[in-house]
Amino acid sequence: MADRLAAGHRHDHADSFGAFTTVAGALKEHSPAVRPHTDGWTTLELTEGAERPRGLATGQGRAFGRSHAHEVLNKSADAHAVSVHACYPPLPRIRR
């Protein structure tokens, strides 16, 4: 799973609240503009225009609530990017 997440696949955080911060480089987060269902799905496919992109430079971050789904990407071909995620309660599962 870690390799898939590192590659930028959309995933959720189950019933956890959390936050993440870009600690190096710049990241682009894509998250649904609509709240996904919390149970009963195995993949999250969105129609065209149903995502909202957000750029996050070093030092920028955001908090998220239960059932937040997103994809976090490093769009740079030259520079590494690092983020730190913190979730509570601890993640029982991540769906993608």
**Whole-angstrom distance, CA of residue 71 vs CA of residue 47:** 15
In this structure, what DSSP letter does residue 3 have? H
Chunked in runs of 10, what are the mean pLDDT values of the chain (96 residues)? 51 83 94 64 64 91 86 90 90 64
Residue 66: the pLDDT is 81
Residues in a beta bridge with 20 = 62, 85
Q: Is the pTM of this model over 0.85?
A: no
Contact 71, 9 (CB under 8 A): yes
Which residue reads 């009963």 in tokens?
40
Position 90 scores a pLDDT of 81
Q: Residue 48, Cα to own-chain centre: how many angstroms?
A: 18
Cβ-based neighbours of 2, under 8 Å, separated by 6 or more:
none
